Chains A and B, each alone.
Chain A
Amino acid sequence: DAMVIQNPRYQVTQFGKPVTLSCSQTLNHNVMYWYQQKSSQAPKLLFHYYDKDFNNEADTPDNFQSRRPNTSFCFLDIRSPGLGDAAMYLCATSRSRDNNQPQHFGDGTRLSIL
């Protein structure tokens, strides 16, 4: 039944070692978002894809990249993870960029950095 699926649920990587988080959706939504949520804080938007168009937030570090090879999949790449990148990473989708479209979230991937 899960419509936005994130794998894995828990990811451990080493300081400086590249890591990729994945997200897939069965909703056929046009828009996919990546958020970072640190402990006891609000989710913070990193970037989003509207179809194939990539939209980066101004304050997203260059260390964070994303790929969307097709409608269903979107990846978050962290090139050189630092200790400050330990967080929950949430993927979300919406049907369109119309403002009344709720975003549907996956269960998140909790990233730990050793």
Chain B
Amino acid sequence: DIQMTQSPSSLSASVGGRVTITCRASQTITNSLNWYQQRPGKAPRLLIYGASNLKSGVPSRFRGGGSGTYFTLTITSLQPEDFATYYCQHGDSFGQGTKLE
């Protein structure tokens, strides 16, 4: 089974700032990697699919990159509503999550 390792587990940032979250796969997964945002008490929400494709309606300050085994989620110009937990996913494997605070 492919394992997804996400880092860091938590991240401090400020409104207007920029952050990058990384996700590594235990073996190559080409670009089959998705990113989700989860706010407290809510279901996860798809942000990016296929490593770098923004879901319709998601702000362009969210950017996904990478391929093979290494992937990134970058958020620029942080807004108050971006402070949440982010997960990467491939198949039936999720990363451990990154809490942005």
Chains A and B form a bound pair = no
Interface residues of A (CB under 8 A from B): none
